[in-house]
Amino acid sequence: MNENFQNNSSTGLEGGPVGTGAPAAQNNTVDYAPDAYSTQQPVYQQPAYQQPAYQQPAYQQPVNTPDYNNFPVVDEPEPPAKKKKTGLLIGIIAAVVVLLAGAAVCVFLFLCNDCKKAFSTTSYTDENGKTVKVCQSCYDDSICQECKEYASDLKSYENKDGDEVEVCEECFNKATCDVCEEFAEKFTTYTDEKGKEVSACAACYDKVHCSSCKEYVVKDDRKDYTEGDTTKMLCSDCYDLATKACDVCAETFGASKTFSYEDNAGTSYTVCADCYNAATCDDCNAYHGGSGTKTYRDASSKKHEVCADCYDANTCDECNAYVANGAALCDDCKDADNNESTALYCWYCGGRIGSSDSYKVDYEGDVFHISCYSEVFDRMYCWYCDGEIYAGSDYEVDYEGDVYHPACYDAVFNTDYYCWYCDGIIDDYDSYEIDFEGDIFHEECYYEFYGY
């Protein structure tokens, strides 16, 4: 090999002077010597491309004393297992979100369809046939408390206990008066002047019906009649009669109902209720004038004063006990096995006391129906005037147990009496005697005068 080539070879890494920072220019031409035995063309000198080598400044590591207080903390990289925990956490969060969303949907589905505030606990069917799930409060606001049916518009009234009741229109009409729309337990139906049927309470019914004849009265024909402290509504005809008197007792009719009958001579009478009952049969209303009447008691012990025909039609032909439906004999008299010797008859009414009837016996041994016994022995008579003290009327009792009409009691005890013998006052609680002439004495004066 050419010695010059060998000696002039370069690595191409030599730089310029140290510290300049710029590469030095080099001659990198390669010389090729011709071979004496070669026939080849001479080799031309080709410049060879060499990557310039740059002089890199040498880096000197600074030497510092470590300050452990300010030593930077380097986060250690998470281990690979941390990625699995992160994925699991994301899955849990997603599941919770799904559950919460499902719960929210369920809550929404179970909310009251009306108020959307409370859970539905019951349901009703609306007017379109749709089932509506609601809470109890909305149910109460939409359901009639009487028929338990849905109603879009409820009406309310106060019942007899003062409680408010919300009902549908149909139940409201059934429970309230058509006139005043107030609750009532009983209603009376009538037809007004327009032909409309009205169901009214007692108060509203009385306002449009004559107190005497009980007929419906149009507004223009209603007249007020005052009797004592009471004002009643009368029709014009009854109002005119109110100032007239009974043809029998001559008492003013007032607002009381009047009656009419004809006697046996064909004379017409307009009378009060008492005179009508006294002159006519309680059963057939035929005139009898109070003569030839007979009395019987029905199954409810109501007394009937009737004509002879009605008496025969309603009493047993054998024992005169009441019989229903016009039967000729009572059950006891129909019984063939009845022992006539043991049959009992009421001392007061003469009716037979059946084998299953209760009865009482007085101190003389006479037997009575229970009702007849009460009528005979439960009566009271005034000690002073001997008049009967009727059941339910007022009476007074003196210190000896005698009973009096109030007026008779005043006449006896609230008037000063003087002894016929000594002229001294006989006090309320003094013992006294009355002689055969009606004169009164102190008890001791009576004995002294008559020598007892």
* pLDDT tens track for 223-274: 888 877 888 888 888 888 887 888 888 888 776 778 888 888 888 888 888 8
CB of 418 closer than 8 Å to CB of 395? no
Mean pLDDT of 279-289: 88
Q: Where are the domains of the chain?
A: 1-56
**How does pLDDT run across 73-82, given as a tens digit for each residue?**
555 555 555 5
Buried b (16+ CB within 10 A) or exposed e, 268-277: ebbbbeebbe
| pLDDT of res. 72 | 57
The span from the CA of 226 to the CA of 229, in Å, is 7
Residue type, 368: F
Does residue 317 register a pLDDT over 50? yes
Here the tokens at position 298 are 């029905």
pLDDT at residue 445, rounded to an integer: 92
H or E segment and range at residue 407: helix 406-413
Write down the pLDDT at residue 241.
80
What is the Cα gyration radius of the chain? Answer: 64
Distances from the Cα of 225 to the Cα of 132, 253, 355, 369, angstroms: 58, 12, 54, 45
State yes or no: pLDDT of 423 exceeds 60: yes
pLDDT on residue 9:
45
Strand ranges inside 291-431, DSSP E: 294-297, 303-306, 344-345, 352-353, 359-361, 367-369, 380-381, 388-389, 396-397, 403-404, 417-418, 425-426
- Residue 416: partners with Cβ closer than 8 Å, 6 or more residues away: 425
Q: Identify whether the C-beta of residue 154 lies closer than 8 Å to the C-beta of residue 141.
A: yes
413 and 406 Cβ atoms separated by less than 8 Å:
no
**Are the beta carbons of 365 and 359 closer than 8 angstroms?**
no
d(CA 143, CA 149): 5
Greatest Cα pair distance, the chain, in angstroms, is 219
**158 vs 412 pLDDT, higher one:** 158
Residue 5's pLDDT is: 43
* Token pair listed for 129: 């046939």
Query: Is residue 180 within 8 Å of 205, Cβ to Cβ?
Result: no
Query: What gap in Å lies between CA 77 and CA 204, rounded to an integer?
Result: 97
| pLDDT value of residue 4 | 44
The alpha carbon torsion through 191, 197, 198, 202 (nearest 10 deg) reads: 50
b or e along 308-339 (b: 16 or more beta carbons within 10 Å of the residue's beta carbon)?
eebbebbbbebbbbbbeeebeebebbeeeebe
CB atoms < 10 A from the CB of 254, how many?
21
DSSP state of 317: T
Q: What residue spans of 224-383 are helical by DSSP H?
A: 236-242, 273-279, 308-314, 331-334, 370-377
Is 326 a residue whose pLDDT tops 80?
no
pLDDT of residue 103: 63
Q: Please tell me the total number of residues recorded for the chain in this structure.
A: 452
What percent of the chain has a predicted confidence (pLDDT) above 90? 3
Looking at residue 216, its pLDDT comes to 92
Instruction: Locate 50 and state its tokens.
Output: 């060499």
Residues facing 124 on adjacent strands = 132
How far is 330 from 288, CA to CA, in rounded Å? Answer: 27
Q: How far is the C-alpha of 96 from the C-alpha of 98, rounded, in Å?
A: 5
Residue ranges in 116-235 assigned as alpha helix (H): 136-142, 169-175, 202-208
Say whether pLDDT at 51 is over 60.
no
- Structure tokens that stand for 66 in this block: 């470590």
In three-state secondary structure terms, 167 is strand
Q: Which residues of 393-403 are buried (b: 16+ CB within 10 A; e: fewer)?
A: eeebeeeeeeb
- The whole-number average pLDDT for the span 179-191 is 87
At 339 the pLDDT is 52
Q: Sorting pLDDT into bands at 50, 70 and 90, what band is 41?
A: low
pLDDT confidence of residue 21? 47
Highest average pLDDT, of 346-350, 369-373, 441-445, comes from 441-445
Structure tokens at 354: 């059946």
* Cα–Cα distance, 13 to 54 (Å, whole number): 8
Angstrom distance (rounded) from CA 307 to CA 313: 10
How many whole angstroms separate alpha carbon 301 and alpha carbon 328? 20
How confident is the model over 93-149, as pLDDT tens digits? 877 887 777 666 666 566 776 676 666 667 777 767 777 777 777 777 777 888 878
